[in-house]
Structure 1
Amino acid sequence: MPHANAPLSPTGRLRLARCVVEDGWPLRRAAERFSVSVTTARRWAERYRAQGRAGMVERSSRPATCPHRTSRHRERRVVGLRVKRRWGPARIAYHLGMPPSTVHKILTRYQCLRLSWTDPATGAPVRAQRRKVRHYEHEAPGDLVHVDIKKLGRIPDGGGHKVHGRQRGKRNSGATRPGYWHIHNAVDDHSRLAYSELLPDERQETASAFWARANAYFAAAGSL
């Protein structure tokens, strides 16, 4: 992707290169016409001669060689210690005399799973099985909807005893007790789309009416 401040897009580079290579423009004239340096004009003209239209795109900035890159032999030692001894990056780095960040990058590059995602005895991946137990992830919307009710105490206007003290808070006891709110929640298992209502109780009739409205909401959203 070209830099945000790049004076030439791939199309502009192609036009510049064709002016130089096909139309015979001098490099300085082409550079002035497209508001770039002579060096830039020369670069795109040479790439056009060598590669044609395909040479007008950006090349990777990654160097062709990296003399300080960790050798394959050492990378295999890192992965071997991880698989055989089940050591973490810090311990492997101490054993091999390497920076822990380098060891972590090697393990990530070779797609080594985290130790917490593998079985302690066999080293086999178990993260997927644990996720099925801890998290509900059905394949399609509407396969499963979780319904729950949370009861919360009503706080009077101006706050309760935690704001005004116990003596003033006692005025809410007895006949003047505010009571509770019952938050009815429904969450689609796959999409995690949620529907909630604040209702005065959790009776059968109230819960049934809530589910009817929740079902209509999910159906309108395409989750059922």
Structure 2
Amino acid sequence: MTGEVIRSSKTTAVRYEKSRPGELAHMDVKKFRRIPEGGGWRTRGETVTNHQSRLNKTGVGHDHVQPLVDNYSRLPPDQPPVTNVMAGYT
């Protein structure tokens, strides 16, 4: 071992930067479980069949969130410079 870093490619990563807001956006879908009041079915000691019948009556299921993030880099307009430095925006 010589200590030399072995890489499959010597080329650098291709970076991209967009010049206008909205040119490139990233969307993600996140699914959250709705947990009923009092906890889930396992904490109450229910059986699977009892749990399934209660699901059909109570509307317990999933909520979906779809955040859309713009790729254009810029400072948030309403943040003071101190928080921008702490967040690494500068």
TM-score interval w.r.t. the shorter chain? Answer: 0.5 to 0.7
**Residue of structure 2 equivalent to 1:151:** 31
For 1:150, the aligned partner's letter is: K
Contact 2:30/2:64, CA 8 A, preserved across alignment: yes
The number of equivalent residue pairs is 75
> Which residue identity is paired with 1:153?
R
Match of 2:13 in 1: 128
> 1:192 and 1:151, CA in 2 relative to 1: closer, same or farther beyond 3 A?
farther
Task: Give the partner amino acid of 2:2.
Answer: I
- Of all paired residues, the percent bearing the same amino acid is 28
Cα RMSD (Å): 3.6
**More helix by proportion, 1 or 2?**
1
1:175 is aligned to 2:57: yes
Residue pair 2:26, 2:71 contacting (<8 A) in 1 also: yes
Q: What secondary structure, in the 3-state scheme, does the structure 2 residue paired with 1:163 have?
A: coil
User: 2 CA distance for matches of 1:159 and 1:189?
Assistant: 39
Find the counterpart in structure 2 of residue 45 from structure 1.
none
The amino acid of 1:165's aligned partner reads G
Matches within 5 A, 1:1-224: 91-92=1-2, 114-116=5-7, 118-119=8-9, 124-125=10-11, 127-129=12-14, 132=15, 137-140=16-19, 142=21, 143-167=23-47, 170=51, 172-191=54-73
| SS of 1:182 mapped into structure 2 | strand
User: In the alignment, residue 138 of structure 1 is paired with which amino acid?
Assistant: E
Structure 1 residue 192, shift from structure 2 partner: 9.2
Which has a greater percent of strand? 2
TM-score, length-scaled by structure 2? 0.52
TM-score of the aligned structures, taking structure 1 as reference length:
0.26
Q: Is there any run of 5+ residues in structure 1 with no aligned partner, and where? A: 1-90, 94-106, 108-113, 194-217
Structure 1 runs, 4 residues or longer, greater than 2 Å off: 137-141, 147-153, 161-169, 190-193
Shift of 1:180: 1.9
Question: In the superposition, relative to structure 1, how do residues 160 and 153 fare at CA in structure 2: closer, same or farther (>3 Å)?
Answer: same
SS of the counterpart of 1:173? helix
